[in-house]
């Protein structure tokens, strides 16, 4: 597809429409403003997570703007919908960079982030990734910085824990998205290395809600526990598991982190992600949510990191370019966040990982591992 040409032609078309459309609204706002981009799955099967992410960014942005912006500069975020699809991601990236001239972008979704990483390198745009976990992101681009631990780290922690405490016979349940498959492969490698065997290996289509046949097959294999690598609504999975007799204990990473009322015992890793109670209350009041979801927290916290880096550049009087944002991040290196200090030795943040045990009675943290 000759998308490139279309974009060019489109840009030409826009050039004639834009001034008219922006005449009234933007003239005043243009004065002191820094525009950032966010490419999130706002529709499609991952939309639920995409909206949590968007709320997180918007929350942090509104807050910093209400306090007068960063050294007088207001922050404006341009949201682009990727539907979690890499091709739409590439188009979104190009629009953000060519049309809106952003130098910093929040990303989401592993395949989108992987697809746009070469563009980030080519166009020297700073990309902050607070959510996508596929292990390939560690080295995808020098301009890509991950504020969350990658899958490999979490999987090796839970695989080791399970091999020691739960047994040597594992089943794997995953969804056919790229994260699900990566998690399956990484778990298999880590668990076999820890001396275990895999007795069943079953996938569900991403977005499918009829999970019974797959769950039945898992239970019939009688493993010591099952590694769950699917996000299709934890509520739906839970309901259907509750109708399967003798479903085994489940383990997982942050990718599979049910919140309450799960019918079987679950052990899962979770990157420690906190916000102050005050922030959470403010967030819930603003977006009318019962709690501040994991991804809202992560994006709000990542936004703080982005703002801190911009602040640093403005303080030094350096222009806010992608190249400078990247350099500045490693110059600042350590950031104070509600999760404690986060520091960047490489492109991926070092974070504290906890192992949670979730039973119908409630949630306990059984282990804390810094890696």
Partner 1 sequence: MALSTNFLVGIIGIFSVSQAALMGVGAYAYAGVAMAGMPFPVALLAAVTLCALLNTVTSLPALRLAGDYFVITSFGLQFIATAVFVNWVQVTGGSTGIAAIPAPRMLGISFEEPQYFVILSSLALALASLAYTLLMRSSYGRVLHAVRLNELAAGAAGRNVLKMKLGVSAVSGIYAGLAGALYAIFMSYIDPSSFEIQQSIVILTMLVIGGARTLAGSLIGPLLLLAIPQVLSLVHIAPELLGPTRALVFGALLVVFMLWRPQGIAGRKI
Partner 2 sequence: MQLILQLVLDGIVHGCALGLIAMTFSYIYVTTGIFHVAHAGILTLGGYLAWYFTGVGVPFPVAVAIAVAGSAAVGVLIQKGVYEPLMKRRSTPLVQLIASIGIVAVIQNLLAIVFSPNVLQFEMLPWRKSSLHLGSLDISYPQLLTVIVSLVAALGLLLFSSRTALGRRARAVASNRSFAEIARLRPYDVYVYVVAIGAGLVAIPGIFLGVDQALQPYSSLGLLLTAVIAMIAGGVGSLPGAFLVALVLGVLQNLVLAMVPGRWSQALTFAIFITFILMRPTGLFRIRMQRAS
Interface positions with partner 1 (CB under 8 A): 1-10, 13-14, 17-18, 21-22, 42-44, 47, 50-51, 54-55, 58, 78-79, 81, 83-87, 90-91, 95, 99, 111, 114-115, 117-119, 122, 134, 136, 140, 176-178, 180-182
Three-state SS at 81: strand
Span of 25-33, 93-101, 131-139, 241-249 interacting with partner 2 by CB under 8 A: 241-249
Cα(24)–Cα(29) distance, integer angstroms: 10
Q: Which does 135 bind (CB under 5 to 8 A by kind): partner 1, partner 2, none?
A: none
Q: Considering the rule CB under 8 A, would residue 245 count as an interface residue with partner 2? A: yes
Q: Considering the rule CB under 8 A, would residue 45 count as an interface residue with partner 2? A: yes
Residue 81 or 280: the one with the smaller Cβ distance to partner 1 is 81
How many CB atoms within 10 Å of residue 249?
17
Interface positions, 186-225, toward partner 2 (CB under 8 A): 201-205, 207-214, 216-217, 220
Q: What is the DSSP letter of 247?
A: P
Which residues does residue 173 pair with via DSSP β-bridges, in sequence order?
A: 202, 228
Shortest Å distance, C-beta 179 to partner 2: 15
CA torsion sign, 180 to 186 to 187 to 189? Answer: positive
Shortest Å distance, C-beta 19 to partner 1: 11
Please work out, in degrees rounded to the nearest 5, the angle formed at the alpha carbon of residue 184 by the alpha carbons of 166 and 237.
75
Q: Are 252 and 266 in contact (CB under 8 A)?
A: yes
Residue 45 or 265: the one with the smaller Cβ distance to partner 1 is 45
Q: Are 212 and 245 in contact (CB under 8 A)?
A: no
H-helix segments, 138-228:
151-165, 178-193, 212-220
Q: Considering the rule CB under 8 A, would residue 360 count as an interface residue with partner 2? A: no
Which residues does residue 39 pair with via DSSP β-bridges, in sequence order?
A: 80
Q: Considering the rule CB under 8 A, would residue 233 count as an interface residue with partner 2? A: yes
Q: Are 255 and 183 in contact (CB under 8 A)?
A: yes
Q: Which does 194 bind (CB under 5 to 8 A by kind): partner 1, partner 2, none?
A: none
Residue 110 or 339: the one with the smaller Cβ distance to partner 1 is 110
Q: Which does 279 bind (CB under 5 to 8 A by kind): partner 2, partner 1, none?
A: none
Q: Considering the rule CB under 8 A, would residue 232 count as an interface residue with partner 2? A: yes
- Element (DSSP H or E) covering residue 249: strand 249-252
- Contacts with partner 2 by CB under 8 A: the residue count is 33
Among 87, 185, 239, 367, interactor with partner 2 by CB under 8 A: 239
**Residue written as tokens 């007088």?**
72
Measuring CA to CA, which residue among 159, 283, 176 is closest to residue 229?
Answer: 176
Cα(155)–Cα(138) distance, integer angstroms: 15
Q: Considering the rule CB under 8 A, would residue 261 count as an interface residue with partner 2? A: no
Q: Which does 122 bind (CB under 5 to 8 A by kind): partner 1, partner 2, none?
A: partner 1
Q: What is the DSSP letter of 348?
A: B
Measuring CA to CA, which residue among 103, 148, 87, 108 is closest to residue 327?
Answer: 103
Q: Which does 236 bind (CB under 5 to 8 A by kind): partner 2, partner 1, none?
A: partner 2
Residues of the shown chain interacting with partner 2 in the complex, contacts defined by CB under 8 A: 43-45, 47-48, 51, 176, 201-205, 207-214, 216-217, 220, 232-233, 235-236, 239-240, 242-245
């Amino acid at each position: 597809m000759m998308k490139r040409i279309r974009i060019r032609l489109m840009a030409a078309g826009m050039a004639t429409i834009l001034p008219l459309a922006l005449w009234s609204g933007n003239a005043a706002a243009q004065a002191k403003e820094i525009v950032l981009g966010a490419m999130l799955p706002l529709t499609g099967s991952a939309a639920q997570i995409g909206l949590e992410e968007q709320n997180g960014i918007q929350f942090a942005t509104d807050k910093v703007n209400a306090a007068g912006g960063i050294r007088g500069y207001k922050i404006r975020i341009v949201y682009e919908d990727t539907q979690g699809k890499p091709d739409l991601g590439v188009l979104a990236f190009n629009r953000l960079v060519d049309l809106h001239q952003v130098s910093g972008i929040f990303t989401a979704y592993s395949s989108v982030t992987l697809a746009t990483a070469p563009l980030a390198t080519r166009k020297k745009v700073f990309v902050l990734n607070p959510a996508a976990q596929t292990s390939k992101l560690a080295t995808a681009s020098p301009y890509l910085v991950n504020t969350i631990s990658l899958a490999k780290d979490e999987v090796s922690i839970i695989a080791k824990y399970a091999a020691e405490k739960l047994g040597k016979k594992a089943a794997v349940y995953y969804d056919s998205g790229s994260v699900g498959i990566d998690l399956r492969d990484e778990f298999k490698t880590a668990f076999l290395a820890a001396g275990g065997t895999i007795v069943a290996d079953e996938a569900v289509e991403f977005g499918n809600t009829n999970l019974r046949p797959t769950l039945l097959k898992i239970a019939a294999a009688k493993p010591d526990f099952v590694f769950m690598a699917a996000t299709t609504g934890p509520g739906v999975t839970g309901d259907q598991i509750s109708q399967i007799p003798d479903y085994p204990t489940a383990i997982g990473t942050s990718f599979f982190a049910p919140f309450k009322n799960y019918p079987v015992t679950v052990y899962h890793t979770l990157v420690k992600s906190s916000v102050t109670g005050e922030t959470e209350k403010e967030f819930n009041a603003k977006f009318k949510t019962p709690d501040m979801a994991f991804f809202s927290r992560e994006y709000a916290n990542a936004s703080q990191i982005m703002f801190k880096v911009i602040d640093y550049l403005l303080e030094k009087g350096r222009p806010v370019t992608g190249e400078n944002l990247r350099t500045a991040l490693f110059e600042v290196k350590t950031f104070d966040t509600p999760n404690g200090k986060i520091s960047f030795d490489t492109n991926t943040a070092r974070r504290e990982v906890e192992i949670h045990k979730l039973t119908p009675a409630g949630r306990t943290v059984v282990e804390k591992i810094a890696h």
